[in-house]
Structure 1
Amino acid sequence: MPNNSIDAVITDPPYCSGGRSIGAKIQSTTNKYENYPQGRPDFLGDAKDGRSWLMWCNLWIAECFRTLKEGGYFLMFCDWRQLPTATDALQIGGISWRGVIVWNKGLGSRAPHKGYFRHQCEFILWGTKGPCNIQNNGPFPGCYEEHVRQKDKHHIAGKPTALMEELCKVIPYDGIILDPFAGSGTTCVAALKTGHQYIGIEKMPEYCEISNQRLRQITE
């Protein structure tokens, strides 16, 4: 991909935060992340330990940095367990870290045992390549509340389409949005619905087909 050609990266990489031992980490992602399996395909790349995950993030974030235009946005999902490491990875990759956006999933998220606080929020680290350019719209919310609905969830770790649409609205109209971990294509769907161009990269054929089906339904 050419240097300085992308307006924004909006992506949801594997968190690799499920399980502490190697035996727990190499379980299927269905077993790690779904209380009630829905038959969605498992996804790859979720068995790294913390140091390996940091190094791996450095590699792909550096490539995203290369392809981003000056002032381009970088938005990356993570959970509470990987939040400290993810902030390091973003900066090591060259991105100017500018804040953390909260995604409140609501009380329908997985409940821990009594005495615990619910892990009902995930996080979106955001930054830019160099300066953050002043826009005609914004400022944008620092917290979004979007519930996960099974009919809109096409991936084990899928995010709500409505949430991704709100994030895409930050990007100037017709800009190019890159998702290097496209999964079931929700970022691409949201980009298309909000009037943007998109590039989605996904290594699993099962999820590529799901993405193509979703995009075809919109274009038709």
Structure 2
Amino acid sequence: MVARSKPSLLDGAAIGKEGSPDEVIAGSAGWHVATADALDFAEALPDACAHAVWTDPPYCSGGYTESAKRQARGMITHKSVKSMGWFINDNMGSAGIVWLLRCVAVQAFRILVDGGSLGVFCDWRMVPLLAPALESSGLRWQGMVIWDKRAPALGTGFRRQHEVVLHFVKGTGVFHDASTGDVLNVSRLHHEARNHQTAKPPEVIERCLAVVAPPGGLVVDFFTGGGSTGVAARRLGMRFLGSEIDSRIAARAREAIRAQSTDARRVGKAHQLGLFDGE
């Protein structure tokens, strides 16, 4: 493994530039999306290079039973599933996803700087299984962020209108914004033109990243999907490294990230003293 060192911040001239993972880590490029398995990609990253790992894995909510999960064609019946089909790994059983995400959390612990954050989207059914598995990596469970979609899904009874982000920190968390609560009200209807079957609105992720990473800092997503985390990172003037196992979906993510402009007012802050400087 590469020896630990304080992570670089973004070179202002490199903002928006696509480059290799090494260039992004060094700050001479802004982003990279690899077509790769999540764990293979994670193992290639150096120690203590990232300020945040924020990801939306295939958390297998296609059914209430193990048999139903393995046979499911997906978590949702959204029209994007009908048009795009389903995607790899979302019909794993609970044991499979717990194993995978525990391995991801171990790698996140290694690549995060002290005080860095791991955020993992899931739904209520997976919280009791995933939370202790992630915590066993050595990360500390900081809490949960609730995404309120502002409208209930289909169904009967108390129709679900939220998802959860499990939030973990390495050591004592270092945060960069104190204006955001743990309930994010962002309408899912604002993101109907999605390029992935379960894409999250970049606005949700943007509000999370502003809390857990500095401008110019490095954000990593091992399950990039349609690229929402990369889009959010670019909006905030942060660097981004992502991996996506499906080459067609990875291409869509690159297209979305390339098309996203950056708020230039945020980039200059990367050259000011940040919360990680002086350590």
Same fold (TM over 0.5): yes
Secondary structure of 2:96's counterpart equals helix
**Corresponding residue number in structure 1 for 2:121:** 77
Aligned pairs for 1:64-213 (under 5 A) are: 64-107=108-151, 109-113=152-156, 116-133=157-174, 135=175, 137-138=177-178, 140-149=180-189, 150-170=191-211, 171-213=213-255
Match of 1:207, as an amino acid? Answer: I
The 8 Å contact of residues 11 and 182 in structure 1, kept in 2 or not, is answered as yes
Q: How many residues align?
A: 214
Contact preservation (8 Å) 2:223, 2:244: yes
Q: Which segment drifts farther, 84-93 or 5-14?
A: 84-93
- Residues 176 and 210, structure 2, Cα contact 8 Å, conserved in 1: no
Q: CA RMSD in A?
A: 1.9
SS at 2:83's partner residue? Answer: coil
Kindly indicate whether residue 98 of structure 2 is the aligned counterpart of residue 54 of structure 1. yes
Pairwise CA distance, 1:94: 1.7
> Which residue of 25, 36, 60 corresponds with 2:70?
25
Give the alignment's TM-score, normalised by structure 1: 0.90
Distance apart, 1:131 and its partner CA:
1.1
Over the matched positions of the two proteins, sequence identity in percent amounts to 27
In 2, Cα distance between the equivalents of 1:18 and 1:28?
Answer: 7
1:169 is paired with a residue of what secondary structure? helix
- Provide structure 2 residue ranges, at least 5 long, that are not aligned to the other structure: 1-44, 263-279
> Could you report, residue by residue, the CA deviation over 1:67-122 in whole angstroms, capped at 9, with x for unpaired residues?
11111111111101101112112201221001011111122x42212xx1111111
Secondary structure class of the residue paired with 2:143: strand
The alpha carbon displacement at 1:48 in A equals: 2.1
Taking structure 2 as the reference length, the TM-score comes to 0.72
Alpha-carbon contact 1:152-1:160 (below 8 Å) kept: no
Gaps in structure 1 of 5+ consecutive residues: none
Measured in 1, the distance between the counterparts of 2:69 and 2:128 equals 22
User: 1:137 offset after TM fit, Å?
Assistant: 2.8
CA apart distance, 1:206: 1.2
State the match for 2:84 in structure 1: 40
Match of 1:39, SS state, is helix
Letter of the structure 2 residue corresponding to residue 196 of structure 1: M
Distance (Å, rounded) in 2 between the aligned partners of 1:73 and 1:21? 30
